[in-house]
Amino acid sequence: MTAAELAPETVRPQSPFAPRPEPVIEEPTPPRERPPEVEQRVLTRIEKKRIDELHAQIDELYRDIPINLSNRPDISSQALSLLRQARTILLEQPQDFVEAEYKVRQAYLLYNRIENAEKWGEHYGWRVFLYELIVLVLFVFSFLGLLAYSTEFSAFLARLVGSSEPNQGVFTAVGFWATFVWGGIGGVVGALYILWMHVSERQDFERQHVMWYIVQPIMGLILGGVTFLIIYTGLLSLQATQPAATALAREVQLFPCLIAFIAGFRPQFVFSLLTKIIKIINPPEEERST
């Protein structure tokens, strides 16, 4: 593999949650020159009560942001900059009250976003972590049991199909189960990584994504099974001199389990592989015409 393929950005699982755009920080609107009589008429239409209320909101955010967003200097600096612009407008251009109110609302958006992320991360984060941990333990014990009792399990499957000894179909079923389970383990580990990234590193956890964390281990199971099919059909060989189907028919192979883990950990790996297979089976029109 090349250095680019081994870079952290390509090895770690990609977050399925698109980053939400940050509010654009606009520069204060330059003052507009107006005749004195027009200036006085505009100011009289603005209720002093609304201006005072907006000043009070700015004071409240000035007090809360340094306390509650001290661990996010990037977000707090943006919010404080917006508040500074809003305060400047109210003091120097009170006739532009709407512009100042808009900037205060932008600051509230930043503040509430981080506040909700921390609240949701604390409420849902531990529940998601416990769910992933339970699923991980089940998958790991399932594979360890398969290794420890592979002979008994193979004999049991053989008796189910009415055979006195395990045949190639039984060994194939055992290999499929091994990759199936390791795909699920990869899905759990990938979900735990994404959970850590959004709760601790980025601090932008959102509750509408909880379903993804629940489904990810199941998706890993399915992709682990797909990986087994790709290897067993010979589209991906374990060794240059040994067909994949032959190796899988003898015993539980760890290399397919590793590939299945990667598939569950980073689903884009399987998706790109499937895309290449589809192009081989059904090439694009321009390639078929040449």
Same domain, 90 and 178: no
Has residue 211 been placed in a domain? Answer: yes
- Where does a domain end: 73, 96, 115? 115
Same domain, 236 and 265: yes
Summarize pLDDT for 104-149 with one digit per residue, the tens. 999 998 888 888 888 888 889 999 999 999 999 999 999 888 888 8
Number of structural domains found in the chain: 2
Same domain, 101 and 139: no
Same domain, 139 and 207: yes
| Residue 49: per-residue pLDDT | 82
The DSSP result for the chain, as a single string, is --TTTTSHHHHSPPPSSPPPPPPP-PPPPPPPP--HHHHHHHHHHS-HHHHHHHHHHHHHHHHHHHHHSTT-HHHHHHHHHHHHHHHHHHHH-GGGHHHHHHHHHHHHHHHHHHHHHHHHHHHHHHHHHHHHHHHHHHHHHHHHHHHHTHHHHHHHHHHHTT-SS--HHHHHHHHHHHHHHHHHHHHHHHHHHHHHIIIIIS----GGGHHHHHHHHHHHHHHHHHHHHHHHTTSS-SSSSS-HHHHHTTS--HHHHHHHHHHHH-THHHHHHHHHHHHHHS--HHHHH-
Same domain, 106 and 157: no
Asked if residue 43 lies in contact with residue 90, where contact means CB atoms within 8 angstroms, the answer is no
Has residue 285 been placed in a domain? Answer: no
CA 53 to centroid of chain Cα atoms: 40
Same domain, 94 and 183: no
Same domain, 203 and 227: yes
Q: Is 165 exposed, middle or buried (0-12, 13-18, 19+ CB in 10 A)?
A: exposed
**How far apart, in whole angstroms, are the C-alpha atoms of residue 108 and residue 71?**
17
Same domain, 276 and 182: yes
- Where does a domain end: 98, 115, 132? 115
How many residues does this entry show for the chain?
Answer: 290
| Residue 119, amino acid | K
Has residue 2 been placed in a domain? Answer: no
Residue with tokens 């416990």: 130
Same domain, 232 and 136: yes
User: pTM of the entire structure?
Assistant: 0.69
Has residue 251 been placed in a domain? Answer: yes
Same domain, 107 and 234: no
Domain encompassing residue 226: 121-280
**How far apart, in whole angstroms, are the C-alpha atoms of residue 195 and residue 173?**
33
Has residue 20 been placed in a domain? Answer: no
Has residue 8 been placed in a domain? Answer: no
Would you give per-residue pLDDT tens digits along the chain (290 residues)? 444 454 555 566 667 666 665 555 555 455 555 555 444 444 555 568 888 889 999 999 999 888 888 777 888 888 899 999 999 988 888 878 889 999 999 999 888 888 888 888 888 999 999 999 999 999 999 988 888 887 787 787 788 877 777 777 777 788 888 899 999 999 999 999 999 999 888 878 888 899 999 999 999 999 999 988 888 777 665 443 444 444 444 445 678 888 899 999 998 888 887 888 788 777 776 655 55
Max CA distance (Å), the chain: 104
Has residue 22 been placed in a domain? Answer: no
| Residue 145: per-residue pLDDT | 87
Same domain, 194 and 251: yes
Has residue 7 been placed in a domain? Answer: no
Same domain, 197 and 231: yes
**How far apart, in whole angstroms, are the C-alpha atoms of residue 221 and residue 201?**
27
- Where does a domain end: 82, 115, 148? 115
